[in-house]
Amino acid sequence: MKIWASCIGLQNFFQALSFSVKYYSKHNHLQTIYLYSQIKPKKCHILDCSGNACRSTLPPGSILWWRFLSCKQETTKVSRKRKKNPSVITSELLYKDLLRSEQENWNEISASYESMTKRIKQKLEGLHNKYTFNLSSPRIRFGENVYFEENGCIFLSKADDVDEANANVLFSTEDIGFSDAHIQQIRISPDQRYMAASLKSENSEEATCVIMKLDHFPVMEKVIPNIFSFEWATSDVLFYTSQKNLKCQEVFMTTFTNERHTKLVYTEQDARFFVDIYCTKDRRFLTINSNSKTTSEVWLVDCSHPFKSPVLVQARTKGVIYHIEHRNDELYILTTYGEPAEYKLMKAPVASSGMENWQLFYALEEKTKLIDLEMFSNHCIMFLQHTGHLYLNVISFVSHSIQSIKDETLVPITVFHNINSKELHRKPLLVHVYGAYGIDLNMSFKEEKLMLIEEGWILAYCHVRGGGELGLSWHKDGCQHNKLKGLQDLKACIMLLHELGFSQPKYTALAAASAGGVLAGALCNTDPELIRAMVLQAPFLDVLNTMMKTHLPLTMEEQEEWGNPLADEKSMKYIKNYCPYQNIKPQHYPSVFITAYENDQRIPLTGVLKYVQKLRKAARDHASKTDRKGNWIPNIILDIEAKGSHCDSSWEDSLNEVARHLAFLNKELDKE
């Protein structure tokens, strides 16, 4: 089913399909409708549905203290302290005033949602307990041993008895002083003497790597802060990338031999590039991957000689993305090089890996998106999607044959509703959108989705250009100077849903998160009459001002998605044409509920505060000018969370947020 197209890796893919089959066969009151249609509005297309995500995932940085300078002039010592610019002080005071004002406003308003929020929370908790399925953490198998994580603990068991009750606890986050953190990744050294695990707090982007020596009684050997990715090159040599101010541009090597040391291995100089490391499936090489939004460069570390300098595969070439796997002294290169500019699988000898030696091994069909690739000794599996069809191609290295395994479900727009629902044009409709970074819209199972369907809601997922369901060209068709196409697609999708009898504007709400807030906020400015309410989580709303602030950690990296308004007047004008904050004006607006996070390092809270203030003023100005009897003034609500970071909250905090969102929607759509 298309709902699971965003699953990464073979195990998760089949786990998800297994659950979806069981779920839909067991609960046949749920109907899924897949729409594929031409759109009547000019230059608009109905698109596949798809995926959720955030602006680039990178960790936080450190605080640099002001340094005080002093000098001597004859016998007089003069101390010079850096003084703050008066405009900076004014901005800080304004920010604090806005923050305080919004917190007071929320405290006053929240009481009106309290009883409904409580009811929704109770129902969601019941559904969570009833339907939570065990997509357990990945099992890492070494010979007869299996390592796995459950409830903040890492266990070791035998392969024929993977049971938490009979497994040995290697460590728990609470025992080592990280009680508020969850385990992100686990890496076991080849001889199983060491284990590295990354831990992340729910209130921070920052991850910490803990290295344990796995004796009879595991001992903590080392703690590395500010880490993003890490891999064992040998049994006692670990490579890792460090995080600074949401950037990841340095690779280090640390040893656990008799002579222990840590040294810098690689530094990325270009602020647009982000660095991570990966171990090939056969563990022959570590790859140092430096990627911008459009360009890649890979360096190889030979795991049998980890102290040798990394070797360049192919120097970065503008517009060419590539990733590396290895088999039998040949590199298998997943790349956009050549025509058409979609992913294709090529190969080259390890000894002569330059682009001039790349040979085509497998080319994708037109309009096909590559979702993932898994490499094995005698075959590889490609996870593909072609015009809405999700399927697998198994390519044999022995017989050179290709076996295709298809799922024929077509899903340009996916609509979920209760099959017993009558008069669908009177039912509330919740539309989801994202449309950025070539990322699929998240359609995974969540308790609140089931609850809404059971209560008669219609859920629609609109895949707009800028997402990734139809490949790289689909993303390119909705980024930079094509961003307005995603907005046109969203409008066309909602209009078609209404035309087909799915709800109507006064019962329609729009939901988006992170970069999805750009299209959702833009629609509110251009076509506010299509929806009654909107809920946004950590939304990106002030594109122009954010992209003009180069001191922000992600601005340089994001230029390939949004454009560079500082260097390109055309980009400046184009962004200004759709930017939600820039285009607010006195007119009718839907009600809006925004959840933002004080610790969000990707979406500056200042931009959200300014957006809310400007939107409220515009709505009030419009109401005062029209001054009709019974004139409706939208509710513009900002809920600022002290806990959590960008779209990343604990289950308890997430439950509260979802319950407040649904209470707001029920009240605004008059469905109490």
Q: What are phi and psi for residue 212, nearest 5 degrees?
A: -110, 140
> For residue 266, what are the CA distances in angstroms to 202, 289, 290?
29, 11, 10
User: Both tokens of residue 643?
Assistant: 């806990």
**Runs of H (alpha helix) within 110-228:** 114-131
Query: Cα–Cα distance between 101 and 671 in angstroms, integer?
Result: 29
Strand 207-213, strand 219-224: pairing: antiparallel
Of 560, 491, 562, nearest in space to 525 by CA: 491
Of 383, 332, 279, 369, nearest in space to 10 by CA: 383
User: Both tokens of residue 219?
Assistant: 């001992």
Asked if 149 contacts 137 with a C-beta cutoff of 8 angstroms, the reply is yes
| Catalytic-residue membership of 215 | no
Query: Cα–Cα distance between 513 and 536 in angstroms, integer?
Result: 5
The string of DSSP codes covering 402-419 is: EEEEEE----SEEEEEET
Sign of CA dihedral 3, 9, 12, 15: positive
Give the 3-state secondary structure of 559-588.
HHHHCCCCCCHHHHHHHHHHCCCCCCCCCC
**Residue 121 φ/ψ region, left for φ over 0, alpha for ψ in the -120 to 50 degree band, beta for the rest:** alpha
| Catalytic-residue membership of 372 | no
Query: Cα–Cα distance between 116 and 109 in angstroms, integer?
Result: 13
User: Choosing from 463, 475, 646, 661, which is the catalytic residue?
Assistant: 646
Residue type at position 548: M
Residue type at position 567: A
Query: Cα–Cα distance between 369 and 439 in angstroms, integer?
Result: 12
Query: Cα–Cα distance between 600 and 647 in angstroms, integer?
Result: 9
| Dihedral angle of Cα 434, 440, 444, 447, to the nearest 10 degrees | -10
Of 360, 507, 365, nearest in space to 423 by CA: 507
Asked if 462 contacts 47 with a C-beta cutoff of 8 angstroms, the reply is yes
H helix or E strand, kind and range, residue 274:
strand 274-279
Asked if 228 contacts 248 with a C-beta cutoff of 8 angstroms, the reply is yes
User: Choosing from 353, 503, 514, 571, which is the catalytic residue?
Assistant: 514
Query: Cα–Cα distance between 492 and 47 in angstroms, integer?
Result: 10
User: Choosing from 48, 372, 477, 600, which is the catalytic residue?
Assistant: 600
Of 601, 445, 633, 610, nearest in space to 15 by CA: 445
| Catalytic-residue membership of 514 | yes
User: Both tokens of residue 26?
Assistant: 């067991």
H helix or E strand, kind and range, residue 228:
strand 227-234
H helix or E strand, kind and range, residue 224:
strand 219-224
Q: Which residues are annotated as catalytic?
A: 514, 600, 646
